[in-house]
Structure 1
């Protein structure tokens, strides 16, 4: 099932229908006289690779650097996501420059809703109607197709075209000719999602037709989809159907992989009920997450088989008759972090000494005329568990020859034929490959050196697995040299190995308080995090984060602004009918109507963050804890920053102490509010019938008694020396400003050097998961703190 055409006018996350110019948006495409093809990554003949073709529209000649920069960002995000990361070398990537007469695209809300003279006729769909919701970006399909056709050897059957619009407004569309606004925070995530559709034939998992409207309950038959089901786990296991081999495992995209169980993940194919998907979220549901294992297995299969060609591309000695003294060759493509397996046999008997080699010298075996020689090339990836996929020609190829007439001798240069490109640094655990030319009468020798020392990890020297060396941090030099055993000819290749992990340092919004001695911050209502991914090399570095061991999520800033920090709140923030940054049970992002029924995210969370560099190194994650507690939106009627001698009484309004030191007792009378941020109280605190008492990051010496408070009692990251008594405090019902059920007084991340007595509070006192250090006796409803 694919998205109906009617959905084109209001994108949810993406559409999956090819984009055409329509009557509401006439094409104004310019000739392609100035178009230029720029190969960005060529790892093999286009017929033996899947080809990604990137177009750009609304970029003038002077903006080509911007276009290239945005393309690099898109690609580096894609290469950070499995299985694209591990199968990067199965792709060719081409960029087509089509300079436009004017900057920008038609009908961009952020650019005055004006028409633009551009090469590919890209623009927002609704004809510059300022009242319309602009999300769908169209392109003149004929002109875009002509631009893509300029790439030699690339055809409709083996390519994905992504047209990038020079715009910061969120938008795009899907299909084999996909579009995206290149300058939007989320745009780099569109290409992997669209490849899931066009290359993987995977379906959308989000449970809505438009962002605020679901199709309701699914009532049909078992869907024709690899990752949607009506079956329970028991039915899957019994029938060995669906994703039964992955059930119960922790999902790469977050949560546990389940089927149609009570604890399963309901919703998908635009239905909110009656349809089940494997994981809580994946990139098919929410941009930013990875594929789960079910989707990753399908994508691995389709990438390996070049989509519809369904055959692992293996270059080899032509099948047929070969001589008894000939050398046979077979070279498959090269995954980035593991090797394909090569198994050679003569008359059905495996040649053990040739296991893993990409050649077989028949002279060493003295085969009889008429003998059958074969090699089986198989990808042993852990991404695939289904034997039907693993044994298909997309993952396993067998080639055969018959010993008979010898091959014709052809003059062969001593050279490397295909190899890992030398311009880009190599990751510290990468399997580097260097294929040589293939004479029929001898084997060219390849010698590897790492920092000047000879090394080897493969039978035939055509690959080197750097993961076996546990390299020290820093740069290393890797060299491969091919020589002819019968002569002095040689050729050398040199790579820089990048063994330095990238980083993603964080900048947090100012916390209300920080737990002493810990990377644990306490926030009122929300917090934000800005990551600045960096590396010791040039190029776009990808940042990622995850919350409470959920799936890793791409860091793109904020949906409305890539330079803004990501905002975390207990229920998320609505941006164009999608909710972002939710700390609740539904995950970081969901449809606006999904928020109902999910648990809120008040409390303590662990946030991890890391970076992935241009070489493919994944940096070690850093982490912190964040406790988010409710707090009323108070406006200070009086703010005191100077020191106070002799104590003070708060009789009305909202009195705020900001870093002030008070020497003497503090009293808060009925209906008044006291908010203290930093500083100290030297004389204790007494509040009876107050509206609000809030202490954050404060040093309090003396007894504290807070009774009968009617709105809020919050004590965060505060050191209290003396007895503390909290009695009969009744919180305001949450629907007045929190949107949640009621909560009790909050004492979190604080220390109490004295007794802590609590009674009659409604609800009970809570620490929201941020433990306190109490040295004295604890009684009443504080007993669980």
Structure 2
């Protein structure tokens, strides 16, 4: 049976809907064989949450590209909490299939070829002319058959992700997830989809179909944990939903509060933060949604994995033990009670009953394993079976425990096949004889290091490692395990398009001035193999995944005052975010701080770098352009005259209402304007006096040199003043009567001669 998702992809996110079969008709053929490749195995598949990734449209020669796509998808996932801290709860497998043909059907257009591929993936909702181009569907039966090749995984303990060999933006979400492998945003589909299928989270954007704003929500209090009708005061008074997080700085930017829109409606319902993973791909989960994800992810396994059997009474002459799970970021807490009284075990995973001096008879021993993560504040979630497990034994002093000889060996540990990060918690599990506790010792670069109460965990963060590579070794008996510790953060750099002006701030940070949209490219490198994930944030907002540009992963990110509309979503808006075309927010002119960093495959996060940009209004479009040499006077009476790398010998006069834009040009002779619509002298040289009076629009003098006096008076714009920044003036500078005082953007006017009036604060040296 063929069905399609009802909801469209949205808001840099995907609709929470069930993806079923859709694809072009094709003759049945023998399915190509699939090869299971373990990518990350942290334990028995039956005891883990399993991510099974299946490719489509990757011919044999394309499979290396598929592996690169998987590496990127996973490394992005491991930067996002709670997956970063709990990646050890997941197994990841791929099922490699060599497709008979390369590519998938109807990519990128409905008239594009139908291809013979194992999963019959297709854009346009399965090559449906009335479908949506970005809706990428898969044959359910086929993808399940391949996923079933992974032993121990079932529909209950796995998430299937089908990746198409395509650079076109597309995917779908729900029970099964699909994504194009090579698109800039592909790797961000998976965490959002896991928010739906694993966390039961809902979409936070304000439309169902892109470009069509949703109306007012009229239902009752939503079941969604991260949507409400209640005010902040009511949330606190009634202790409902995310009240414990109110006022906290949000992991996805801003603070946790109450923000209108969500559940495909623009009004009448509220969410916890401005933008989180469930609203906009690229940001993190905020605290309320992260808390839910911790509970749901932990519930997919058992935090108490193993222990001394409790199905029958045990003797009082033995050691009793439990084996908890091992998050990457912290250790689970283990506590013990004997006949209801706490034992002083200092967090050890074992108790030696022979040392308890038990009175003859029967006793009750209880071990409790709890996840102390700071990601959870709700006591009900903390006490749930997802985060708290107990095991109870009846201890009978009349019983004698057999004591077979069991050598001290390691039975499992943090994987040794990849470097661990400088802040990871590394663990080992040893054999567990009934009569003794195998001793474990640790060395770092050959030097002994201390660890947890029973020496099974080592918190590297507490060691404050020096940058570089280190060797960590654990020893029990004659057995050893060795890890490479990567304590070197990735290197991150940025490239910007050409600015009007560059300066260094008093704090040593670079600052740039632009008068048009600009681009930023982030580059991140590391000495650990694998995809390095760059991030940036503006004005202290949430960290945002740097994916290139939505239409091209290799292109730089583009910043504009109002953002760029791509397929009815808005990208690159400076200042107050604008995510949908109908968002009414002020343009992003002015000064902004941009921070950047990267996270390497070992989980090390670089110290952020920082720079500032000031975005000025863009000059109007030219109606006349002068290049090369111009001899004699130049009088601009109407429109916009642009001098582009021009050389003008003679006076330049700008009449009322007209505009001059001189870029990297040379003018010999006075420049005079009175009542001009705008004057822009950009990295240009003027030999002669410059007199600019009564300008009604933008007046911008940035960079360059003026040999002669500069006078700026009577500018009438009230929302912005003249900009006189980084220009060298050999002569006096006088400003007065401007409706808004001139600004040098932190780049003083240099040169010789006094500065008076409103320009007095702008001069240096």
Distance 2:383 2:756 in 1: 65
Comparing 741-750 with 454-463, greater Cα deviation is found at 741-750
- 1:316 Cα shift? 1.0
Comparing 78-87 with 41-50, greater Cα deviation is found at 41-50
The superposition leaves residues 707-732 of structure 1 with CA deviations (integer Å, 9 ceiling, x where unpaired) of 2445542122456687543234457x
Aligned to 1:598: 585
1:713 to 699, 723, 736: 699
Distance 2:367 2:650 in 1: 88
Q: Would you say the 8 A contact 1:11–1:135 is kept in 2?
A: no
User: Do residues 512 (structure 1) and 500 (structure 2) align?
Assistant: yes
Aligned to 2:541: 550
Distance 1:482 1:279 in 2: 49
Aligned to 1:759: 737
Q: Map of 1:213-612 to 2, 5 A cutoff?
A: 213-259=212-258, 265-306=259-300, 311-319=302-310, 320-352=312-344, 354-368=345-359, 369-404=361-396, 405-409=399-403, 412-483=406-477, 490-515=478-503, 519-587=510-578, 590-594=579-583, 597-612=584-599
Aligned to 1:619: 606
Q: Secondary structure at the match of 1:434?
A: strand
1:512–1:177 Cα change, 3 Å: same
Distance 1:12 1:76 in 2: 19
Q: Would you say the 8 A contact 1:425–1:498 is kept in 2?
A: yes
Q: Secondary structure at the match of 2:513?
A: strand
Comparing 365-374 with 421-430, greater Cα deviation is found at 365-374
Distance 1:773 1:397 in 2: 68
The superposition leaves residues 202-226 of structure 1 with CA deviations (integer Å, 9 ceiling, x where unpaired) of 1000111111113300111110010
Q: Would you say the 8 A contact 1:28–1:121 is kept in 2?
A: no
Distance 1:11 1:248 in 2: 25
1:451–1:389 Cα change, 3 Å: same
Distance 1:412 1:749 in 2: 77
Q: Would you say the 8 A contact 1:748–1:766 is kept in 2?
A: no
Q: Would you say the 8 A contact 1:476–1:497 is kept in 2?
A: yes
Q: Secondary structure at the match of 1:532?
A: strand
Flag structure 1 segments of 5+ consecutive residues without an equivalent. 260-264, 484-489, 732-740
- 1:364 Cα shift? 2.3
Aligned to 1:192: 191
1:219–1:103 Cα change, 3 Å: same
Q: Secondary structure at the match of 1:68?
A: helix
Q: Secondary structure at the match of 1:156?
A: coil
Q: Would you say the 8 A contact 2:724–2:749 is kept in 1?
A: no
- 1:658 Cα shift? 3.1
- 1:46 Cα shift? 1.7
Q: Would you say the 8 A contact 2:5–2:18 is kept in 1?
A: no
Distance 1:461 1:104 in 2: 51
The superposition leaves residues 500-554 of structure 1 with CA deviations (integer Å, 9 ceiling, x where unpaired) of 1112211101111123565110111211101111112221000100000000000
Q: Would you say the 8 A contact 1:312–1:396 is kept in 2?
A: yes
The superposition leaves residues 645-696 of structure 1 with CA deviations (integer Å, 9 ceiling, x where unpaired) of x997555773525397x89976556676543445777876433354542123
Task: Report the TM-score, using the length of structure 1 for normalisation.
Answer: 0.89
Q: Would you say the 8 A contact 1:25–1:125 is kept in 2?
A: no
The superposition leaves residues 472-491 of structure 1 with CA deviations (integer Å, 9 ceiling, x where unpaired) of 111111111111xxxxxx11
The superposition leaves residues 332-390 of structure 1 with CA deviations (integer Å, 9 ceiling, x where unpaired) of 111112111111222222222x2221222222223334122221111111100011111
Distance 1:476 1:11 in 2: 43
- 1:113 Cα shift? 1.2
- 1:465 Cα shift? 0.8
1:601–1:313 Cα change, 3 Å: same
The superposition leaves residues 402-437 of structure 1 with CA deviations (integer Å, 9 ceiling, x where unpaired) of 212344545534321111111111111111111112
Distance 1:82 1:767 in 2: 42
User: Do residues 726 (structure 1) and 715 (structure 2) align?
Assistant: no
Q: Secondary structure at the match of 1:72?
A: helix
Q: Would you say the 8 A contact 1:686–1:705 is kept in 2?
A: yes
Q: Would you say the 8 A contact 2:76–2:533 is kept in 1?
A: yes
Distance 1:748 1:286 in 2: 37
1:10–1:26 Cα change, 3 Å: farther
Comparing 288-297 with 457-466, greater Cα deviation is found at 457-466
Q: Would you say the 8 A contact 2:9–2:171 is kept in 1?
A: no
Aligned to 1:738: none
Distance 2:203 2:726 in 1: 42
Distance 2:121 2:137 in 1: 5
> Superposition RMSD on alpha carbons, in Å?
3.0
1:638–1:270 Cα change, 3 Å: closer
Q: Secondary structure at the match of 2:531?
A: coil
Distance 1:223 1:57 in 2: 38
Aligned residue-pair number: 749
- 1:247 Cα shift? 0.4
1:522–1:303 Cα change, 3 Å: same
Q: Would you say the 8 A contact 1:650–1:672 is kept in 2?
A: no
